Amino acid sequence: MAAPIPLDTHRRLRENGGKTKGESVMWDYSNRVMDHFRNPRNVGFIEDADGVGEVGSMACGDALTLTFKLDDAGRIADARFKTFGCASAIASASALTEIVKGMSVEQAEEVTNQDIADYLGGLPEQKMHCSVLGREALEAAVEHYRTGGHPKRILEGDVVCKCFGITRPEIERIVRENHLRTVEEVTNYCKAGGGCGGCHDQIKAILAHEAGTPAAEPPTKPKPRLTTVQKIRLIENVLEREVRPMLKEDGGDIELIDVEGNRVVVSMRGRCAQCAASGFTLDGFVGEKLREFVSPDLTVEEEKP
Which residues are tagged catalytic? Answer: 60, 130
69 Cβ contact list (under 8 Å, min separation 6): 46, 48, 49, 50, 76, 77, 78, 79
For the chain, give the longest Cα–Cα distance: 62
Cβ atoms of residues 191 and 136 within 8 Å: no
Cβ atoms of residues 143 and 177 within 8 Å: no
Nearest Cα to Cα of residue 293 among 249, 245, 237, 228: 237
Tell me the CA distances in angstroms from 113 to 129, 157, 260, one per residue in order: 9, 22, 38
Q: Residue 175, exposed/middle/buried by CB under 10 A (0-12, 13-18, 19+)?
A: buried
Phi, psi at residue 276, to the nearest 5°?
-70, -20
- Distance separating alpha carbons of residues 86 and 29, to the nearest angstrom: 12
Nearest Cα to Cα of residue 90 among 133, 46, 31, 47: 133
150 C-beta neighbours (distance < 10 Å), count: 9
Q: Which residues on neighbouring strands pair with residue 264, listed in sequence order?
A: 259, 300
- Distance separating alpha carbons of residues 7 and 10, to the nearest angstrom: 5
CA-CA-CA-CA dihedral for 159, 164, 170, 171, to nearest 10: -90
Nearest Cα to Cα of residue 37 among 4, 86, 74: 86
